[in-house]
Structure 1
Amino acid sequence: MDEVSTNNSESLHTQEQRSGIIKTVVAIVVAIAVMLMMFIHKINSPRVLSAEELRINGLFVLDQPRILSDFELKNHRGEAFNRDSLKGKWSLVFFGFTHCPDICPTTMALLNQLLTEINGDILDQTQVVMVTADPARDSVEKLAEYVPFFNPDFIGVTGEFITLKKLGNQLNVPFVKVPQGDSYTVDHGGQVVIINPRGDYHGFLSTPLDLARMKLTYQSMVTASTCCGQ
């Protein structure tokens, strides 16, 4: 009887040892997995730059975001486009026109490339808007042909000239009609304006635009704004 009790005690002790070893191994594996996930998250997270580093690389953030006045325009689907249309996402806004021979299509293609390369979470928070600087020729129908060519999710915007001009002035983007033979062209600022998810003018990407710098600075700005509640 004593021998049976001893064997049972040894067996119970062995089981407890095995259970303890298993628990220890599981705890180690979980700890390693957590550390690995944190490492992967860190190396995949965009680097956060200082304000000076952002400026050096062409992104300028306003000291205080500028609240935009209300406006009423139309997108390339014929739907209303106003200040509320800029809320809820970061908006990359470019003023251009469909008859532009070089700068506009180059910039639109560059913005499409940017969206294919930025972090997935940041991509979900981003929309691209092309505002026409030539409403006389850029109707809703014309923008509907032009804008989706670069990306089906891009938004084209047109409307009354005076409304577009006032919006451009608020965003520090000048544009002016310039006679060219029997027709005309439009001189306009080439910077990409950044509107924050509150619908406020937040900053801009200056020219000359460069894909690598745009990706670096834009992701940094959004990451910093998200984590710091800016």
Structure 2
Amino acid sequence: MRLRSLQLAGSALLIAAVAFYAGYRAAPSPPPPPVMPTVSAIVWPPPPPLEPFTLTDTHGQPFGPDQLRDHWTLLFFGYTHCPDICPTTLATLQRVYALLADVPGFRARGQVLFVSVDGERDTPEHLAEYTAYFDPAFLAASGPDRELHHLTRQFGARIVRVSGEDPDEYWFDHPAAVLMLGPDTRVTAEFTPPLDAADIAAQVREIVEYFDAVR
């Protein structure tokens, strides 16, 4: 009788073990962790979040880190009297923005920001008219030299005002790169000339998908 009880107990244990093993084998494997993008523009490790700064947007309202937080931002420094680099770059960003329209949620979280380094001539009204030519959704802001310097130095951007023969004639040497800021206001990527809209859009897409997956 004792032997039969032991045999039954052993059979029950065997059945339980087989069932457990079968269930273990049938359980789906966890998905592999996302792979860091290998895009050439990515900045890693990312620098610290932006320090506070205050510019003025096209509506005459204060513009600072709060307007960048929780958004993917493509940022370009320039000025409206720029004869070549600025209009060419903004036209490229216009195409990039259009190419990213099908990225889930990008239009709700993505934005293009033009920061004018010419706070004297680029009033909110003038900036609004200038950027609307490329896309009415584009953001623009400027401000006094001290605030612009405080912002540009955080990116290591060198801005130099060059005077002409006429005291009212001047222009700026400024970076031609486009910076990509993440929702935490850190620089995520830097796109340097020559700028290709399709290439930038593809890299932005990959970066956004990666960071969305790891959040």
Structure-1-length-normalised TM-score: 0.73
The equivalences for 1:11-26 within 5 A come to none
CA distance in 1, matches of 2:123, 2:35: 40
For the Cα contact (< 8 Å) 1:49–1:221, is it kept in 2? no
**1:72 aligned to 2:54?**
yes
- The residue that corresponds to 1:200 in the other structure is 186
CA distance in 2, matches of 1:154, 1:198: 20
Higher-strand-fraction structure: 1
How many residues are treated as equivalent by the alignment? 178
The equivalences for 1:20-169 within 5 A come to 51=37, 53-55=38-40, 59-118=41-100, 119-121=102-104, 122-169=106-153
- The residue that corresponds to 1:3 in the other structure is none
Structure-2-length-normalised TM-score: 0.78
Gapped regions of structure 2 (runs ≥ 5): 1-33
Which amino acid letter does the alignment assign opposite residue 76 of structure 2?
F
For the Cα contact (< 8 Å) 1:75–1:157, is it kept in 2? yes
Gapped regions of structure 1 (runs ≥ 5): 1-47
CA shift in 2, pair 1:98/1:49, >3 Å: farther
Point out 4+ residue stretches in structure 1 off by more than 3 angstroms: 48-51
CA distance in 2, matches of 1:65, 1:50: 17
Give the 3-state SS of the residue equivalent to 2:45 in structure 1. strand
- The residue that corresponds to 2:6 in the other structure is none
**Superposition RMSD on alpha carbons, in Å?**
1.7
- The residue that corresponds to 1:224 in the other structure is 210
Which amino acid letter does the alignment assign opposite residue 196 of structure 1?
G
**Percent of aligned pairs sharing the same letter:** 32
For the Cα contact (< 8 Å) 1:60–1:206, is it kept in 2? no
